[in-house]
Chains A and B, each alone.
Chain A
Amino acid sequence: MPLPHLPLDAITIGAHVDHWPAAITAAGDALVRSGAATSAYTDRMIAVVREFGAYIVIAPGLALAHARPGADVLADGLCVVTLAEPVAFGHPHNDPVSVIVGLAVAGAAAHLHFVAELANVFNDPAVIPALAGATTAEFVQSVFGQTAS
């Protein structure tokens, strides 16, 4: 199964945020814009980190913002937010974070397939620095193997 479509309105380049909840909010806003989720999902993504800590920072500079499936997920969705200034999430090895990938999944079983695709993209260690330095949303799409069509 390919990744969910990554439309241009699900990509934010160079967001200015002061702290990690604002960074996750920027990802939530992108998922709302693209029609994948409602703003309630944003609150649940923040709640996951408040409950379990910064474990969502799964690689140097990268946070995978997500929560469980729920009524606030309208469709499987992916978003990418890059930060103008990196922020700390509180992870001992992988801070500071400059790229947030937001994931909304409608069902737990189906998501396993496109998470494998996500792993394929990021197994290239050049990808996170490339995304962090992206200047256009079209470039971000191309990193994920997608075009505007």
Chain B
Amino acid sequence: MKIVVMCGIGLGTSAILKVNAERALERLDIEASVQATNVAGVRAAAADAQVILTSSELVDAIGKTNADVIVINNYFDVDELFAKLEIALGS
């Protein structure tokens, strides 16, 4: 499974989101690769992704995608990531 985390420029905020998404996935016991990307690269990065994690501010920049787009409000809140990923990926 592939998860894409997206921020404006593809470093800094997306790196933080990647770290904490990996922590949430570990707690969920789900194996997935988490790739950080930016607005310019999201279309290519998300072509084979199941989920895109990003900020509410950037949702419109994603455009059309088959991936589930999940808005994360607090990038440091692993509980929020856990809950939202569980809904999106849980059986």
Stretch at the interface among A21-29, A61-69, A79-87, A140-148: A61-69
Most chain A CB neighbours (cut-off 10 Å) among B16, B54, B76, B77? B76
Nearest opposing residue in chain B for A107, CB measure:
B11
Contacts of A105 in B (CB 8 A): 11-12
Residue A38 CB within 8 A of the other chain: no
- Is B16 a contact partner of A118 (Cβ separation < 8 A)? yes
Residue B13 CB within 8 A of the other chain: yes
Given A58-B16, A91-B57, A93-B56 in contact, is the A108-B74 Cβ separation under 8 Å? Answer: no
Residue A15 CB within 8 A of the other chain: no
Residue A92 CB within 8 A of the other chain: yes
Q: On chain B, which size bracket covers the interface?
A: 20 to 34
Contacts of B7 in A (CB 8 A): 52, 55
B40-78 interface mask toward A, CB cutoff 8 Å, 1 = contact, 0 = none? 000000000000001111100100000000000111111
Cα distance A95–B20 when bound, in Å? 21
A86-98 interface mask toward B, CB cutoff 8 Å, 1 = contact, 0 = none? 0000011110000
Q: Give chain B nearest CB distance to A60 CB in angstroms.
A: 6
Nearest opposing residue in chain A for B36, CB measure:
A112
A59 partner, pick from B8, B57, B75, beta carbons under 8 A:
B75
> 7 tightest A-B contacts by CB?
A52-B8, A55-B55, A53-B57, A55-B57, A58-B75, A115-B15, A66-B12
Query: Could you list which residues of chain B lie within 8 angstroms of chain A, going by C-beta atoms?
Result: 7-13, 15-17, 19-20, 39, 54-58, 61, 73-78
Query: Could you list which residues of chain A lie within 8 angstroms of chain B, going by C-beta atoms?
Result: 48, 51-56, 58-60, 64, 66-68, 91-94, 103, 105, 108, 111-112, 115-116, 118-119, 122-123, 125
